Chain A
Amino acid sequence: MQAAQHAGHAGHHDHDSHGHGPTGIMRWITTTNHKDIGTMYLWFSFAMFLVGGAMSLVIRAELMSPGLQYVAPEFYNQMLTLHALIMVFGAIMPAFVGFANWMIPLMIGAPDMAFARMNNWSFWLLPPAAILLTASLFAPGGAAGTGWTLYPPLSVQMGMGMDMAIFAVHILGMSSIMGSINIITTILNMRTPGMDLMKMPLFCWTWLVTAFLLIASMPILAGAVTMLLTDRHFGTSFFNAAGGGDPVLFQHIFWFFGHPEVYIIALPAFGVVSHVIPAFSRKRLFGYTSMVYAIAAIGLISFFVWAHHMYVTGIPLTGQLYFMYATMLIAIPTGVKVFNWVTTMWRGSLSFETPMLFALGFLVLFTIGGLTGLVLAMTAVDIQLQDTYYVVAHFHYVMVAGALFSAYAGLYYWLPKWTGYMYHEGIGKLHFWLSMIFFNIAFFPQHFLGLAGMPRRIPDYAQQFADFNMISSIGSFGFGFSQLLVLVVVFKAMKGGVKADAKPWDGAHGLEWTVPSPAPHHTFEDPPPFDPAEAHG
């Protein structure tokens, strides 16, 4: 790490200038600066969020009333597949990598990420993968229409779009693994003197665990899709019963990646919220130590619960029982985290700026998603609800409300640090309330649809499901268009407005608030002094 630190020092005495590198587009293509790369990750993820969001509106338009109105069933299947792949791999994951790039060096007092050039490559792998995914729509036979789970033998039937999706997943996996190695190395080696692991900001802890989850699970996914590729083109029979294989094997491998993936998305979201809630409660985070242990426990247990996605595949009774108990176990550390956040607020001095509103929105909605997850953990009940809209509602409460709301909390919280100007509080609050209201209109009725037995991934439905689907579609259109307000907020804050102080939030703690706003291009070229009292939120 000495080398990296030297690289950070070399020649850059003029903190605020970046005039000694390429300019224009080449600056962004060649940059090794963690702030530039963080910014690119965030813009990329927002662009993908709009693409994936547009696809979800195609889905909801078709489902607005019974009958086929706008799209053919096979195109509908492609939309739901790409919506999920783009949202998971293109929008949510890169968004939190963007936060990690921007904030981890600032939080631990490091000059940059450990492997600055690899960091550049981690980002620039993403656009080709995104192009492969979206361009697969125009391949002969269209994109993969299998759902993001890519189950064979259906995925073996697909056309060339499937191969493009497989290569996109390979590239995204490489990017994630490189990003993770970078984050782990940075956190373990580049903390400012005196910052022990147990005094480190919680966002860094969540990313440390997440990065290990990524390194352990992404190669599994890469292996699964490679086996799919050879089954498709080279005559292997991993998943073909006629050749001695087993289609269900794919599901085991996929979900061995897929369940940790849920926590790869959720943990950094927990990290952001663990900064925002203490800042606006003007009180230190309650139970820091138990939070760290809960994060580690969630990360570990997430590898032992994968087959709860497969209760109806015919796994043995003993398997079902084991996975049910293991899944119930994960509720305990998750509960600990929620109780800690609630107690952090208790007897604080609360104010409700936009970051706090989104953090509270996260708390309410993520708790609902977590509690319906407990219902789904019970195998006998899950068998009624598997592959219905109850599951769709459940994971949107966890993913949209969990990850997206937390990302917005982080965006509003750190935007003054990034742009140097305060965002427009009125538009921010409007964005929150529209998101909160429309999100619930869109997704809460889906619980009822699922209970009544409406299967997911169908382009048309029986008539008793018509009313709730209409409400859900109206909600999703409202939710989708409300998100454009983010662009207004960000552009306004980039252009100017009220100058932000180095520490615009009176309750905030941490090293990131010791540098000016906007953060200079190079920060912490010398390790900053560390005050344990300011350790974390």
Chain B
Amino acid sequence: MARHSSNRGDNKGDAGRLPVRSAGLLLAGLLGAFSNAAYAAWELNLQMPVTALARRVYDLHTLLTWVIFIIFVGVFAVVTWSIIFHRKSKGHKAANFHDNTAVEITWTVVPTLILIAIAFPATSALVEMRDTSQPDLTIKATGYQWKWGYEYVTGDAAGVKFMSVMSTPREQIENKAPKGEHYLLEVDHPLVVPVGKKVRMLLTATDVIHNWSVPAFAVKTDAVPGFLRDTWFRAEKEGTYRGQCSELCGKDHGFMPVVVEVVSAEKYAAWVADQKKAMAASADDPTKVWKMDELMARGEKVYATNCAACHQPNGAGLPPAFPALDGSKIAKGPKAAHLDIVMKGKPGTAMAPFAAQLSDTDIAAVVAYERNAWSNKLGELTQPAEVKALRGK
């Protein structure tokens, strides 16, 4: 049985930490006998924790699972005994008791005591989970339909920001190409954090509620539009850890993964330097006058990342929820109205405002692309300066 536990990071955790796990492996082996899938992974337990907090949660879950298992076995041992020995077909005569105050008090008090005992570890794990004070660095994650935006707020990387979009090709999803090892759990720009540092995540969203979740860190918090929430983790091992949006957020809810790369301090410093250099290099000259082929090339990329999920790569959309752009009134109408809807969005629909997400050049390029692609051959250019002039209006 081939095991590619792609969802749990590239480090191999301390397998067999607890008896539940070895029992799980045994069962997995039995089930594996009739499996022929290349990526079979009969995971029976929580992902291997890579933070101290996730380990507490893992152990708490194991404790609870044993408690409920013992209760279940106890209760159904009694039921099984009745079923076997107190059958009418064996001539068993029914007893005639139907009340016993002492018994009833016992089975009210004993579960209460068990619950109180469980409440102590459950409370202390939760208190630790919510303590986001004194972070080493702070990162803001913004949920968009359907991608994550990351912005480093404090630390060496302060100011670095980028979008993180799923990189699994459409052909794999549509079963036209073989699926990769990290199918649906891979992005173009993963979040990069240093190992052993307390990272505080600030979460928000622009359109609907999303949820930023990484199971190996025991982190899962809603990103609520218009509000800031926070959570934290301190990853102990280098590696790549994968999670997914965990709150239904519309059509492509299943296609907005979270990928976090945990790297050494040196690699992190190098990554930060690279990012800063790249940001400086890619900063567009806002006064540049662009030619049609340059705009179309840039616009096609921006369109593919930001627009194609709804309006489709061929501009045909998925009407009526996601209108077509090919031949549409807006894409072939006055440019001012087109720029307005791209920058400000359309309230009450899934059309998001892109003014804050995209640069002047990106907006100009994508509008130019939409007005010249497919059958919309307007032959008209849109320049970054026009977008800049509209900002703040």
Contacts and interface: CB of A to CB of B under 8 A. Distances in A.
B20 to A, nearest CB: 10
Contact of B65 (A151, A352, A375): A375
A289 B99 CA distance: 9
B304 interface: no
A335 B349 CA distance: 47
B99 A287 contact: yes
A284 B60 CA distance: 40
Interface in B3-50: 4-8, 31, 35, 37-47
Given A67-B172, A151-B248, A448 B43 contact: yes
Contact of B7 (A153, A374, A453): A453
Chain A interface size, as a band, is 35 or more
A488 interface: no
Contacts of B45: 448, 451-452
A242 interface: yes
Interface stretch (A195-203, A213-221, A319-327, A422-430): A319-327
A159 B322 CA distance: 11
Interface in B67-81: 67-68, 71-72, 75-76, 78-79
Interface string A381-413: 101101110000000000000000000000000
B39 A460 contact: no
B86 A375 contact: no
Given A156-B348, A283-B95, A321-B123, A383 B129 contact: yes
Given A285-B98, A451-B45, A457-B248, A140 B76 contact: no
Interface stretch (A8-16, A120-128, A364-372): A364-372
A392 B179 CA distance: 26
A349 interface: yes
Nearest to A154: B208
B282 interface: no
B92 A350 contact: yes
Interface in A410-459: 448, 451-453, 455, 457-459
Interface in A129-183: 140-142, 145-147, 151-154, 156-157, 159
Given A66-B183, A460-B254, A350 B87 contact: yes
A246 B64 contact: no
B208 A336 contact: no
Contacts of A151: 208-209, 247-248
Contact of A332 (B92, B115, B226): B115
Give the one of B65, B76, B126, B183 with max A CB within 10 A.
Answer: B126
Contact of A328 (B43, B71, B83, B115): B115
B179 A66 contact: yes
B325 interface: no
A398 to B, nearest CB: 14
Given A142-B321, A467-B31, A453 B209 contact: no
Given A347-B94, A350-B87, A381 B173 contact: no
B115 A453 contact: no
Interface in B214-245: 215, 218-222, 224-227, 229-230, 243-245
B126 to A, nearest CB: 5
B138 interface: no
A157 B250 CA distance: 9
Nearest to A250: B209
A286 B246 contact: no
Interface in A310-359: 312-314, 317, 320-321, 324-325, 328-329, 331-332, 335-336, 338-339, 342-352
Contacts of A378: 60, 64, 118, 122
B93 interface: yes
Contact of B94 (A349, A380, A452): A349
A157 B230 CA distance: 26
Contacts of B52: none
A146 B42 contact: no
Contacts of B61: 375, 381, 384
Nearest to A288: B98
Contacts of A317: 126-127, 130
Interface stretch (A28-36, A50-58, A72-80, A261-269): A72-80
A467 B227 contact: no
B318 interface: yes
Contacts, number: 314
A363 interface: yes
A344 B88 CA distance: 14
B169 to A, nearest CB: 12
Interface residues of B, number: 109
B185 A462 contact: yes
B112 interface: yes
A381 B38 CA distance: 31
A300 interface: no
Contacts of B86: 281, 345-350
B201 to A, nearest CB: 12
Contacts of A281: 86, 94
A303 interface: no
A374 B68 CA distance: 8
B126 A452 contact: no
Contact of B222 (A289, A313, A349, A360): A313
Nearest to B184: A462
B134 interface: no
A248 interface: yes
A448 B184 contact: no
Interface in A258-305: 281-290
Contacts of A383: 57, 129, 218-220
B125 A380 contact: yes
Nearest to B206: A153
A241 interface: yes
Nearest to A289: B99
A73 B252 contact: yes
Contacts of B220: 312, 383-384, 386-387
A466 interface: yes
A241 B42 contact: no
B363 to A, nearest CB: 21
A464 B39 contact: yes
Contact of B253 (A142, A314, A452, A458): A458
Given A324-B119, A448-B45, 11 more contacts: A157-B350, A247-B227, A248-B224, A287-B98, A349-B87, A380-B60, A455-B213, A455-B245, A463-B6, A463-B38, A463-B41
28 contacts: A67-B172, A73-B254, A141-B320, A145-B250, A151-B208, A151-B209, A242-B226, A248-B224, A324-B119, A324-B123, A346-B86, A348-B95, A350-B83, A374-B68, A375-B61, A375-B65, A375-B68, A384-B215, A384-B218, A451-B46, A453-B47, A453-B244, A455-B244, A460-B173, A463-B39, A463-B181, A464-B39, A466-B39
Can you list the 3 inter-chain pairs with the closest CB atoms, starting with the nearest?
A241-B226, A458-B254, A464-B41
